[in-house]
Chain A
Amino acid sequence: MTAFSPRSSRPPQLTPDVVRVLGDDGSVDDQHDPRLSVDDMLSVYRHMVQTRLLDERLIVLQRQGRIGFHVGSLGEEASIIGSAFAVRREDWIFPCYREFGAALMRGLPLQKLVDNCFGNANDTVKGRQMPHHYSCRSIGWASISSPVGTQITQAVGFSWAAKLSRDDRVSLVYFGDGATSSIDFHSGMNFAGVFRVPCVFLCRNNGWAISTPAEKQTASRSFAEKGHSYGVPGIRVDGNDVLAVISVTRRAVARAAAGLGPTLIEAVTYRMGGHSTSDDPNRYRGAQDMEPWRQVDPIGRFKDFLVAQGHWDKEREAELIADIEVRFRDAVAQAESVPLPPLESMFDDVYEKLPWHLVEQRAQLLAGPRSPSSH
């Protein structure tokens, strides 16, 4: 596993208004410290490490041609794991597409994630979508789509419905800096402001929307300040400081659940990898751009803190990595042994019951020749 070792300088994007708990010198800000139990801190750390390790392994599988695609979260583990840790079990998450680590933490079985990457017959979405477009209603996880921002209005509708039903559930919606330019960001923020909807907007400002830098998305001083024009409080948090992310998200969730309305959180972080395995970031940014962010690596920072507190050591790290490696290897072996979804399943779930035209088309498919590139 690549862990970037933390040093003392911080990237210029992490301005003084950004909420932090873990100081550069290893100190802890008492005001914002979420005061997690040791077990919780170790659980959060394990999930961050698992997220990065799986990212690296899934990229390799894609490069080997064994899976078609990967979209990862390298460098963004604190903003994803920390925020998802802060919502309650009964709350719903409306993901973007980089949050598999959070889905695993909430209970998506690793096998299901890997089955989804292979699009096999055991894939929860029956091989109908690209990898990382899985679904898991049982963990309060909405379906994932590729168009940017569409989940924002949906998340608002979900928690608005909860509010109308006198239910204190909230929704947490993930999106990136690029999505703040979308129609759904505007509509979602506006509706949430007008109707005081219990929705937590989590904008991961990772610096890039594929090749477009954050400064080309907006002339605002920050993404958080956009909230003010909608009557929605905005707050900036160090997205590479997992304790700060937990603290800020918890407050936003508590505020929403108490009927006080939505919050826009801007988690300032950095996309250390490409947009996806289809992207080559060397075409639009240099290695030096990443250097300041290597020094505030979210996993390295949290690990140093845990080691300094006496909660973690090399042996436990080695055990953790070995355990993840074994579970992942087994899941891949299992996924590769499972056939593709059955042909006729292509027609299921379009409508609840198959209408006449799909009955006809299914019969045509089954009676016709098979594609040489599929079976």
Chain B
Amino acid sequence: MPQMNMVQAVGDALRLAMRKDPKVILLGEDIGRVGGVFRVTAGLIEEFGEDRVVDAPLSENGIIGAALGMALYGLLPVPEIQFADFVYPAYDQIVNELSKYRYRSGGDHSAKMVIRMPVGGGIRGGHYHSQHPESAFIQLPGLKVVCPSTPYDAKGLLLSAIEDPDPVIFFEPKRVYRAAKGEVPDGYYTVPLESARIVREGRDVTIVSYGAMLYECLDAAQRASEEDIHCEVIDLRTLWPVDIHMIVESVKKTGRFIVVHEAPKTGGFAGELISLICEKAFYSLEAAPVRVTGFDTPFPYTLEAEYLPLSHRIVPAIREVAGA
């Protein structure tokens, strides 16, 4: 089986989707001739031409608004936002148009697309190339939100997202775009949406994360195991609708719950997950759940290694919930 990094795996998924369905069309800034600033779409314009790999003017609002019109026509757009930090000019189209189009028309219309965007810090990108804005999308009824952490999942989840009937926000954790490598099958396969994965089994503490921080959780879990604290690490893969069943079952087993994400703490997804656990597994909890997250500051350039919830901050949290 070939080894791929996440950049190659996402590009492979796009290529297979475009071969399978002539309705799939890509739009984005610099995705064609140069193959994207991260080279995810490299080689696609050569295979599919500039009518299907569209180098768009620099307007996120225009890209998503036009993609929505293309979806109404019957195409299947997979637009790229160059960095998640740049999505906000398109936010009105996502909030008020895309996510509500089926609902507000009583099911008369549907507008389906998959919006890809690189997210997250750790690449020395400062706050305009580092943010992780999943909460701003999870709260929008009608959207599904996906964030893979491995090349295998990135390919399979992207193909699932393209097949799915609902609009999907597909976050690509750019800190591990090239660092995460793994075996990725050559052909077409899917990884189901709304399905999390237990990456490491353990009996003492449940740690939930996604994207680039998954690797920090695994590192912290390994270090904790040396102190005889055994963590179960769950990779959400689909953030919303979340695989709540898997988390609840794990917390019922461990009684201790940590959520790790890069986004700021207040109003972040960790708060929502902890609320859900309190609603569904309160009497299984043996310690107060803990959030290990970015701080409620803008993303700092020089101090990013202190801002991010890396394993050196997760290990103390594990000890805290474990009462060690």
Contact = CB atoms under 8 A, between A and B. Distances in A.
Contacts of B62: 153, 156, 184, 187-188, 190-191
Interface of A: 92, 94, 123-126, 128-129, 133, 135-137, 142-143, 145, 147, 150, 152-162, 164-165, 171, 183-184, 186-188, 190-191, 194, 348-352, 355-357
B92 A128 contact: no
A158 B194 CA distance: 30
B241 A153 contact: no
Contact of A160 (B66, B93, B96, B104): B66
In this complex, which of B62, B64, B74 has the most chain A Cβ atoms within 10 angstroms of its Cβ?
A: B62
B126 interface: no
Interface in B284-318: none
A349 B106 contact: yes
B25 interface: yes
Given A125-B104, A164-B51, A355-B241, 18 more contacts: A125-B106, A126-B107, A128-B106, A143-B105, A145-B97, A147-B92, A147-B97, A150-B65, A150-B93, A157-B66, A157-B67, A157-B69, A158-B72, A165-B75, A190-B57, A352-B110, A352-B166, A357-B244
A171 B107 CA distance: 21
B66 A154 contact: yes
B59 interface: yes
B75 A161 contact: yes
Contacts of A129: 104
A161 B73 contact: yes
B185 interface: no
B165 interface: yes
Nearest to B96: A147
A149 to B, nearest CB: 9
Contacts of B57: 187, 190-191, 194
A129 B74 CA distance: 24
Given A135-B109, A143-B104, A194-B57, A156 B65 contact: yes
A320 to B, nearest CB: 31
Interface string B52-70: 1000110101101111111
Contact of B244 (A125, A160, A165, A356): A356
B108 interface: yes
Nearest to A345: B106
Interface residues of B, number: 46
A126 B100 CA distance: 13
B104 A158 contact: no
A135 B108 contact: yes
A153 B142 contact: no
B151 to A, nearest CB: 27
B109 A143 contact: yes
Contacts of B137: none
B267 interface: no
B105 A357 contact: no
A162 B56 CA distance: 17
A356 B93 contact: no
Nearest to A128: B104
A135 B93 CA distance: 18
Interface in B72-128: 72-75, 77, 89, 92-93, 96-97, 100-110
B165 A352 contact: yes
B106 A152 contact: no
B92 to A, nearest CB: 6
Interface in B7-65: 25, 51-52, 56-57, 59, 61-62, 64-65
A350 B72 contact: no
28 contacts: A125-B108, A142-B109, A143-B105, A145-B96, A147-B96, A150-B97, A153-B69, A156-B65, A156-B66, A157-B67, A157-B69, A157-B70, A158-B73, A161-B70, A161-B73, A161-B74, A165-B75, A171-B69, A183-B59, A184-B62, A191-B56, A191-B59, A348-B107, A349-B106, A350-B142, A351-B165, A352-B110, A352-B166
Contacts of B93: 150, 153, 184
B65 A184 contact: yes
A152 B100 CA distance: 17
Nearest to A351: B166
Contact of A126 (B74, B106, B194): B106
Contacts of A143: 101, 104-105, 108-109
B9 to A, nearest CB: 26
Contacts of A137: 105, 108-109
Contacts of B25: 161, 164
A153 to B, nearest CB: 2
B302 to A, nearest CB: 33
